[in-house]
Amino acid sequence: MLGIQRRKKSWNLRKMQPTLHSDGCNNSYDETDAWKIYTAEDFLIKNSMHETLVVYPESMDSCGLFESVQQQYQGTFRFKLHLYQDTNAKEGVPTVFTIQKGLKTYLMHCTEDRTLRFEEGSVPRWISGYKSKYIFYKRQFSEGDAEAFSFESSILVGYFLASEQEHGCKKLALRSHQHEVNENFRIQLVKV
Protein backbone atom coordinates (compact mmCIF):
# COMPACT_ATOMS: atom_id res chain seq x y z
CA MET A 1 0.00 0.00 0.00
CA LEU A 2 2.86 2.38 0.82
CA GLY A 3 4.32 1.85 -2.67
CA ILE A 4 1.06 2.97 -4.31
CA GLN A 5 0.93 6.11 -2.16
CA ARG A 6 4.53 6.99 -3.10
CA ARG A 7 3.79 6.57 -6.81
CA LYS A 8 0.71 8.80 -6.54
CA LYS A 9 2.67 11.47 -4.71
CA SER A 10 5.57 11.45 -7.22
CA TRP A 11 3.10 11.57 -10.14
CA ASN A 12 1.46 14.67 -8.63
CA LEU A 13 4.85 16.33 -8.23
CA ARG A 14 5.65 15.74 -11.91
CA LYS A 15 2.25 17.03 -12.95
CA MET A 16 2.72 20.51 -11.40
CA GLN A 17 5.71 22.37 -12.82
CA PRO A 18 6.84 25.97 -12.26
CA THR A 19 6.59 28.25 -15.26
CA LEU A 20 8.17 31.63 -15.83
CA HIS A 21 5.49 33.77 -17.48
CA SER A 22 6.21 36.76 -19.69
CA ASP A 23 5.32 39.05 -16.75
CA GLY A 24 8.22 37.54 -14.75
CA CYS A 25 6.05 35.75 -12.15
CA ASN A 26 6.76 32.16 -11.18
CA ASN A 27 3.49 30.25 -11.22
CA SER A 28 2.45 26.65 -11.54
CA TYR A 29 0.38 25.20 -14.32
CA ASP A 30 -1.29 21.87 -14.71
CA GLU A 31 0.62 20.24 -17.54
CA THR A 32 -2.34 18.08 -18.54
CA ASP A 33 -4.48 21.11 -19.32
CA ALA A 34 -2.33 23.75 -20.98
CA TRP A 35 -1.19 25.10 -24.33
CA LYS A 36 2.26 26.55 -25.01
CA ILE A 37 3.06 28.70 -28.04
CA TYR A 38 5.76 27.25 -30.28
CA THR A 39 5.65 29.11 -33.59
CA ALA A 40 3.93 31.93 -35.46
CA GLU A 41 3.56 32.60 -39.19
CA ASP A 42 2.15 35.43 -41.31
CA PHE A 43 -0.71 34.51 -43.65
CA LEU A 44 -3.46 35.90 -45.78
CA ILE A 45 -6.76 34.19 -45.04
CA LYS A 46 -9.05 33.44 -47.99
CA ASN A 47 -12.44 31.82 -48.42
CA SER A 48 -13.49 29.30 -51.09
CA MET A 49 -14.11 32.21 -53.55
CA HIS A 50 -10.46 33.34 -53.06
CA GLU A 51 -11.57 36.55 -51.35
CA THR A 52 -9.21 37.88 -48.68
CA LEU A 53 -10.27 38.38 -45.07
CA VAL A 54 -10.11 42.04 -44.01
CA VAL A 55 -10.73 42.86 -40.35
CA TYR A 56 -12.22 46.02 -38.88
CA PRO A 57 -11.44 45.64 -35.15
CA GLU A 58 -12.26 49.26 -34.32
CA SER A 59 -15.82 49.04 -35.71
CA MET A 60 -18.84 48.56 -33.44
CA ASP A 61 -19.27 44.89 -34.32
CA SER A 62 -15.50 44.22 -34.62
CA CYS A 63 -16.03 42.21 -37.78
CA GLY A 64 -14.05 40.40 -40.45
CA LEU A 65 -15.23 40.56 -44.08
CA PHE A 66 -14.08 38.62 -47.12
CA GLU A 67 -13.32 41.11 -49.91
CA SER A 68 -11.55 41.26 -53.25
CA VAL A 69 -8.61 43.44 -52.24
CA GLN A 70 -5.69 44.91 -54.10
CA GLN A 71 -2.10 44.05 -53.16
CA GLN A 72 -1.34 47.56 -51.78
CA TYR A 73 -4.36 47.38 -49.42
CA GLN A 74 -3.13 44.10 -47.95
CA GLY A 75 -0.10 45.89 -46.47
CA THR A 76 -2.27 47.84 -43.99
CA PHE A 77 -2.91 44.77 -41.81
CA ARG A 78 -1.15 41.49 -41.10
CA PHE A 79 -2.62 38.18 -39.94
CA LYS A 80 -0.55 35.87 -37.83
CA LEU A 81 -1.34 32.30 -36.85
CA HIS A 82 0.21 31.29 -33.55
CA LEU A 83 0.51 27.53 -33.27
CA TYR A 84 0.49 25.99 -29.81
CA GLN A 85 1.60 22.67 -28.36
CA ASP A 86 -1.20 20.94 -26.48
CA THR A 87 -0.35 18.83 -23.44
CA ASN A 88 -3.69 17.06 -23.89
CA ALA A 89 -3.57 15.87 -27.51
CA LYS A 90 -6.69 16.52 -29.57
CA GLU A 91 -7.48 16.26 -33.27
CA GLY A 92 -5.92 19.27 -34.96
CA VAL A 93 -3.31 21.91 -34.19
CA PRO A 94 -4.25 24.48 -31.50
CA THR A 95 -4.11 27.91 -33.15
CA VAL A 96 -4.60 31.54 -32.07
CA PHE A 97 -5.34 34.21 -34.70
CA THR A 98 -4.03 37.75 -34.34
CA ILE A 99 -4.12 40.75 -36.60
CA GLN A 100 -1.59 43.56 -36.58
CA LYS A 101 -3.16 46.83 -37.66
CA GLY A 102 -0.86 49.81 -37.29
CA LEU A 103 0.81 49.56 -33.89
CA LYS A 104 -2.03 47.55 -32.33
CA THR A 105 -2.42 43.78 -32.04
CA TYR A 106 -5.87 42.20 -31.85
CA LEU A 107 -6.75 38.62 -30.84
CA MET A 108 -9.72 36.86 -32.44
CA HIS A 109 -11.99 35.09 -29.97
CA CYS A 110 -15.41 33.46 -29.57
CA THR A 111 -18.10 34.99 -27.42
CA GLU A 112 -20.78 33.20 -25.41
CA ASP A 113 -23.39 34.20 -28.01
CA ARG A 114 -21.44 32.29 -30.70
CA THR A 115 -19.99 35.32 -32.49
CA LEU A 116 -16.42 36.30 -33.31
CA ARG A 117 -14.76 39.42 -31.93
CA PHE A 118 -11.34 41.03 -32.04
CA GLU A 119 -9.92 42.48 -28.84
CA GLU A 120 -6.72 44.42 -28.38
CA GLY A 121 -4.05 42.52 -26.50
CA SER A 122 -0.86 40.53 -26.70
CA VAL A 123 -0.55 36.85 -27.57
CA PRO A 124 -0.49 34.66 -24.46
CA ARG A 125 2.59 32.48 -24.18
CA TRP A 126 0.70 29.92 -22.06
CA ILE A 127 -3.03 29.23 -22.00
CA SER A 128 -4.18 27.06 -19.11
CA GLY A 129 -7.23 24.83 -19.09
CA TYR A 130 -8.68 22.60 -21.75
CA LYS A 131 -10.92 25.25 -23.34
CA SER A 132 -10.11 28.79 -24.43
CA LYS A 133 -12.02 31.49 -26.27
CA TYR A 134 -8.84 32.13 -28.30
CA ILE A 135 -7.94 28.56 -29.37
CA PHE A 136 -9.18 27.09 -32.66
CA TYR A 137 -8.19 23.59 -33.79
CA LYS A 138 -6.71 23.69 -37.29
CA ARG A 139 -7.59 20.63 -39.38
CA GLN A 140 -7.09 19.73 -43.02
CA PHE A 141 -10.30 20.58 -44.91
CA SER A 142 -10.10 17.68 -47.36
CA GLU A 143 -7.55 15.10 -48.43
CA GLY A 144 -5.09 16.29 -51.04
CA ASP A 145 -5.72 20.00 -50.42
CA ALA A 146 -2.66 21.15 -48.46
CA GLU A 147 -3.65 24.86 -48.36
CA ALA A 148 -7.25 24.57 -47.11
CA PHE A 149 -8.25 24.03 -43.51
CA SER A 150 -11.20 24.13 -41.16
CA PHE A 151 -10.93 25.70 -37.71
CA GLU A 152 -13.02 24.43 -34.78
CA SER A 153 -13.49 26.48 -31.62
CA SER A 154 -12.11 24.82 -28.49
CA ILE A 155 -14.68 26.50 -26.26
CA LEU A 156 -17.70 25.95 -28.55
CA VAL A 157 -17.19 22.37 -29.72
CA GLY A 158 -18.81 21.72 -33.09
CA TYR A 159 -18.57 25.38 -34.17
CA PHE A 160 -16.18 26.30 -36.97
CA LEU A 161 -14.95 29.44 -38.71
CA ALA A 162 -17.06 29.97 -41.84
CA SER A 163 -17.66 32.43 -44.67
CA GLU A 164 -21.28 33.53 -44.48
CA GLN A 165 -23.40 35.87 -46.60
CA GLU A 166 -24.98 38.57 -44.43
CA HIS A 167 -26.58 41.84 -45.62
CA GLY A 168 -24.82 41.63 -49.00
CA CYS A 169 -21.37 41.01 -47.46
CA LYS A 170 -19.37 37.83 -46.95
CA LYS A 171 -18.57 37.82 -43.26
CA LEU A 172 -16.30 35.65 -41.13
CA ALA A 173 -18.66 33.80 -38.79
CA LEU A 174 -18.80 30.95 -36.33
CA ARG A 175 -21.23 28.23 -37.42
CA SER A 176 -22.22 24.72 -36.42
CA HIS A 177 -20.77 22.11 -38.74
CA GLN A 178 -22.66 19.01 -39.79
CA HIS A 179 -20.26 16.34 -41.03
CA GLU A 180 -20.84 16.92 -44.75
CA VAL A 181 -18.34 18.85 -46.88
CA ASN A 182 -19.40 22.50 -47.07
CA GLU A 183 -17.23 25.03 -48.92
CA ASN A 184 -18.29 27.77 -46.47
CA PHE A 185 -16.03 26.12 -43.86
CA ARG A 186 -13.02 26.07 -46.22
CA ILE A 187 -10.33 28.51 -45.06
CA GLN A 188 -7.26 28.89 -47.26
CA LEU A 189 -3.98 30.05 -45.76
CA VAL A 190 -1.60 31.87 -48.11
CA LYS A 191 1.90 32.55 -46.71
CA VAL A 192 3.05 36.13 -47.00
Q: How many distinct structural domains can be found in the chain?
A: 2
pLDDT band (50, 70, 90) for residue 46: very high
Question: Is 98 in the same domain as 16?
Answer: no
pLDDT band (50, 70, 90) for residue 23: very low
Question: Is 61 in the same domain as 89?
Answer: yes
Q: Give dist(CA 125, CA 149) in Å, integer.
A: 24
What CATH number is attached to the domain comprising 183?
A: 2.80.10.50
Question: Is 153 in the same domain as 174?
Answer: yes
Q: Of 56-65, 127-136, 180-189, which gets the smallest average pLDDT?
A: 56-65
DSSP 8-state secondary structure symbol assigned to residue 185 = G
Question: Is 157 in the same domain as 186?
Answer: yes
The pLDDT score that the predictor gives to residue 120 is 94
Half-sphere exposure at residue 70, Cβ-oriented, CA atoms within 13 angstroms = 2
User: Where in the sequence is the domain holding 100, given as residue range(s)?
Assistant: 32-191
Question: Is 59 in the same domain as 20?
Answer: no
Question: Is 99 in the same domain as 159?
Answer: yes
